Structure 1
Amino acid sequence: MFALLAILANVAITVVSAQDPVSFNTSSTLFGSLTNCGTSGTPSCGGDPSQENLCCYEYPGGLLLQTQFWDTKPSTGPVDSWTIHGLWPDNCDGSHASNCDPNRDYTDIPRLLREQGADDTLSFMERYWVDIHGRNERFWEHEWSTHGTCYSTLQPSCLRHGSPHGAEAVIFFRRVVELFKKLPTYDWLAAQGITPSEDQTYSLSELTDALKAASGYTPAITCSGRAINQISWYFYVRGSLIDGEFVPIDSPLDSSCASSGLRYYPKSG
């Protein structure tokens, strides 16, 4: 039952780039493979879907957003880290589908993770993938049913024969957690002298320039009024979401914040 997840545990997440910025390239050797896709194909949004195996080419949602929260009212998660919102497969034109397969609206995500040997992923989620109202399980269920079921490369038919029920959801949560660990937004801002403050204000360009200097890429920042509260890092994926490569790109969308006077409030703890 744990064979699929045991292999997955040894698959290191790979982030690649044509520009290959040293600060962001976290390429690692794959110690195992869950698919026959490989990582040498065309990244999503770059090929002809009619000619592709959709178990190995993400379509139609080939524009991936790894979204993170900065919640202060109420505060959620560690005071020195952003938290996970999700990993969304937007269409290449910026539109998106949702709730793509109600038959796979799995519940009791913690049980699913434990039964398939993903206790470490669950422990991380309990700290870094948290709901502002404390309804974590409902939040995880929503992210899977709304976004996770829309990945073409996570269709059950794309998994190995004999994979346990719900294995594709477990893979989804593992991959989101692994990618989030490669995107330390708080640390990247702090490295450029931008830290939470009750008094300091920042310009949008200060924030985006700092993150680009640290990562090599420009994300999209979302604000509530003048307070920054969400960030989205954009990717294409080469191969399957299961064991493919994430290809980072600059955000195709502008940030939704004002140009100046932005607040990065501290969490209360």
Structure 2
Amino acid sequence: MTPLYKTGAALAATISLALAGTPETCANPKTSCSGSSTNTCCFNTPGGLFQQVQFWDTDPVTGPDTSWTIHGLWPNNCDGSYSESCDSSRAYTDITSLLKAAGKTSVLDYMDSYWLSDDEGNEAFWDHEWATHGTCISTLDPSCYSDYTTGEEAVDFFTRVVALFKTLPTYTWLKDAGITPSDSKTYSLSDMNSALESAFGAPVVLLCQDTDVVYEIYYGFHVKGNVQNGTFEPTTSTGSSSNCPDEVQYPPK
């Protein structure tokens, strides 16, 4: 089922009542990237290795000075390659209205604090992340819902990304290991990796800008079942590697 493309007030009106659709129930679900399945509503494919990506923005500063912020959730094809912008008919351009109409104001409020762009409006950033990455998640396809209502898969996407981000307190994990933002210190990349891997349960990928300034992190997951209510299992981000040197800067916001 392919929904009509709607934006803004028209889209909000479409789901002004409580969302009626429900995703498929997945009995004995398989873990993504483990073989194959014809049931793409319960087995994420081809994008089965999910990367939850976070920013540490210092120039310009975005978000609280004691937290990293959300970049997105990207379905990696289990080998480092990506599919992008998979369904232009669902490239919704008013995520704010979708979330409000679905009664997800708490999710929206959280996004306004922790899912921020450093070079465009937040709404444009969210629209981009959904259209580029969210539309490529097989278990979020409209055909995976009973009584589907236009846009509810995007609501599920943003709700799940926010919930996942809350389980990944990068700033706190580093602080607990004695690694805090500093204008004068440098840190061993291996020490940062070790602290985060120990807390997360799998290797992470830290990225740098300006050669040695840490500014981004990839957390990898396989998903058992669908994205909406499946189990995210920490794993190595296959196909991704750090560009940071052995000693890095972690400046304060």
Q: Which residue of 2 aligns with 1:59?
A: 45
Within 5 Å, which residues of 2 pair with 1:37-116?
37-38=26-27, 40-49=28-37, 52-116=38-102
Percent identity of paired positions between Structure 1 and Structure 2: 48
Aligned pair count reads 235
What amino acid does structure 1 have at the position aligned with 2:30?
T
Q: Which residue of 2 aligns with 1:199?
A: 184
Corresponding residue to 2:193 among 205, 208, 212 = 208
The Cα shift of 1:165 comes to 1.3
d(CA) in 2 for partners of 1:104 and 1:90? 20
What amino acid does structure 2 have at the position aligned with 1:45?
C
The Cα shift of 1:216 comes to 2.1
Q: Which residue of 1 aligns with 2:213?
A: 227
Corresponding position: 1:147 with 2:133: yes
The Cα shift of 1:3 comes to 4.5
Corresponding position: 1:218 with 2:203: yes
The Cα shift of 1:259 comes to 1.5
The Cα shift of 1:71 comes to 0.2
Corresponding residue to 1:172 among 157, 165, 184 = 157
d(CA) in 2 for partners of 1:188 and 1:55? 34
Within 5 Å, which residues of 2 pair with 1:13-24?
none
Q: Map Cα deviations across residues 58-113 of structure 1 (whole Å, 9 max, x no partner).
A: 00000100000000000000000000000000101111110000011101111110
Q: 1:129 to 1:172 in 2, by over 3 A?
A: same
Structure 1: which 5+ residue stretches go unaligned? Answer: 6-32
Corresponding residue to 2:146 among 143, 160, 164 = 160
SS of aligned partner of 1:106: coil
TM-score (norm 1): 0.84
179-188 or 242-251: bigger deviation: 242-251
Across the aligned residues of Structure 1 and Structure 2, the Cα RMSD in angstroms comes to: 1.4
TM-score (norm 2): 0.89
d(CA) in 1 for partners of 2:107 and 2:78? 29
What amino acid does structure 2 have at the position aligned with 1:151?
I
Q: Which residue of 1 aligns with 2:243?
A: 256
SS of aligned partner of 1:65: strand
Q: Map Cα deviations across residues 177-196 of structure 1 (whole Å, 9 max, x no partner).
A: 00000000000000000000
